[in-house]
């Protein structure tokens, strides 16, 4: 009888041991399946959050790709391209651009060449004839152009001011959503001409103002100039606090180059950074860079 109890006890212990091992093995398999499911993105685990869409824009007066230290007649288009490529912008708004001129090269289309060297689409907007060629502003974009148009900006009557222009390009920044980017260069001689050109520019842009507009410009006036009173009815600079000095590049002492947004652009984008690139070789101006991201 005692012997039978011992056998029964051993059998019971063996059954309990086998059951425990089976449970542990089952738990281990389930655990592995859960791990695999999480690794493959299955179940209810959330994936990584999508990063905010950031656009990088640059405004750059390139001084017809003539490094100031080299004197007139010397052109270094590669230096301008290198400055641009280092920032990897989505949009570049250029001023003082030559096309087939004696002074820069009769076979050199600076906008086309910079487009090729930066792998961007280009649009050149002629302001006037210069040095047996053309002179104006240009727009480079990674995105294809849906629209490109220019508009002349004459100076005030009775002045020696140069004819200026604005070049406007429409691009798609999100699927089904487009915006305008524009480049201009305002007169440097007389305030009367600045006033006339700014007014003409704003009249030209009014039909486009229902969509986001980002303007890159050499305005030839500091942030304290009284003409900002009229310009600010349509645009505000992207500078956060004090706008950085932009010219002359060797010893910068003034701010005349800007990136600006209209109200619609400010509704959609927030500025995350605004700065100058401290390159004093390629041009007599620092390029201005602004980074914006879409608001959520």
Q: 3-class SS at 137?
A: strand
- Reported as a single tens digit per residue, the pLDDT across 211-232 is 999 999 999 999 999 999 999 9
How many structural domains is the chain composed of? Answer: 2
For 11, how many CA atoms within 13 A lie in the half-sphere containing its CB?
A: 6
**What distance separates the 2 farthest-apart alpha carbons in the chain?**
130
pLDDT cut 90: percent of the chain above it? 80
Same domain, 222 and 100: yes
CATH number, domain containing residue 224: 3.60.10.10
Give dist(CA 60, CA 47) in Å, integer.
Answer: 40
Same domain, 38 and 111: no
Same domain, 255 and 130: yes
Same domain, 36 and 157: no
| Token pair listed for 59 | 């405004």
Same domain, 2 and 105: no
Same domain, 9 and 86: no
Q: For residue 184, which of 166, 197, 206, 202 has the smallest C-alpha distance?
A: 166
Q: Average pLDDT in the 129-133 region?
A: 98
Residue 34, pLDDT > 60, answer: no
The pLDDT confidence band at residue 15, using thresholds 50, 70 and 90, is: very low
CA 202 to chain centre: 22
Phi/psi of residue 132, each to 5°? 60, 30
Lowest-confidence segment of 28-32, 46-50, 285-289 by average pLDDT: 28-32
Give dist(CA 258, CA 223) in Å, integer.
Answer: 9
Same domain, 45 and 81: no
pLDDT at 79: 99
Same domain, 76 and 187: yes
Q: Which residues on neighbouring strands pair with residue 164, listed in sequence order? A: 153
- Reported as a single tens digit per residue, the pLDDT across 152-182 is 999 999 999 999 999 999 999 999 999 999 9
Helices (H), the chain: 2-39, 77-87, 110-118, 191-205, 228-231, 263-268
Q: Average pLDDT in the 285-292 region?
A: 99
Residue 55, pLDDT > 80, answer: yes
Residue 245, pLDDT > 90, answer: yes
Q: For residue 293, which of 173, 145, 142 has the smallest C-alpha distance?
A: 173
Same domain, 162 and 141: yes
Same domain, 17 and 121: no
Q: Average pLDDT in the 279-289 region?
A: 99
Same domain, 41 and 118: no
Same domain, 64 and 192: yes
Phi/psi of residue 49, each to 5°? -70, 140
Average pLDDT across the chain, whole number:
88
- Reported as a single tens digit per residue, the pLDDT across 196-216 is 999 999 999 999 999 999 999
pLDDT at 49: 57
Q: Which domain holds residue 170?
A: 54-294
């Amino acid at each position: 009888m005692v012997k039978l109890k011992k056998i029964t006890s051993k059998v019971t212990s063996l059954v309990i041991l086998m059951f425990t091992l089976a449970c542990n093995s089952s738990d281990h398999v389930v655990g592995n399946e859960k791990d695999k499911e999480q690794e493959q993105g299955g179940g209810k685990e959330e994936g990584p959050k999508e990063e905010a869409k950031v656009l990088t824009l640059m405004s750059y007066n390139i001084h017809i790709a003539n490094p100031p230290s080299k004197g007139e007649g010397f052109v270094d288009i590669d230096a301008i391209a290198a400055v641009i490529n280092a920032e990897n912008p989505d949009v570049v708004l250029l001023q003082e651009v030559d096309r087939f001129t004696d002074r820069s090269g009769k076979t050199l289309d600076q906008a086309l060449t910079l487009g090729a060297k930066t792998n961007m689409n280009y649009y050149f907007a002629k302001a006037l004839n210069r040095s047996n060629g053309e002179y104006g502003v240009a727009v480079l974009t990674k995105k294809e152009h849906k629209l490109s148009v220019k508009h002349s900006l004459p100076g005030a009557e009775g002045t020696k001011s140069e004819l200026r222009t604005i070049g406007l390009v429409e691009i798609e920044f999100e699927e089904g959503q487009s915006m305008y980017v524009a480049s201009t260069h305002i007169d440097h001689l007389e305030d009367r001409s600045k006033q006339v050109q700014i007014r003409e520019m704003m009249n030209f842009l009014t039909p486009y103002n229902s969509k986001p507009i980002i303007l890159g410009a050499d305005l030839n006036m500091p942030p304290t100039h009284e003409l900002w009173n009229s310009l600010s009815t349509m645009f505000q600079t992207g500078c956060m606090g004090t706008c950085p000095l932009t010219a002359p590049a060797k010893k910068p002492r003034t701010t005349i180059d800007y990136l600006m947004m209209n109200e619609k652009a400010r509704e959609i984008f927030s500025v995350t950074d605004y700065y100058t690139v401290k390159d004093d070789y390629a041009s007599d101006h620092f390029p201005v860079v602004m980074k914006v991201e879409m608001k959520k």
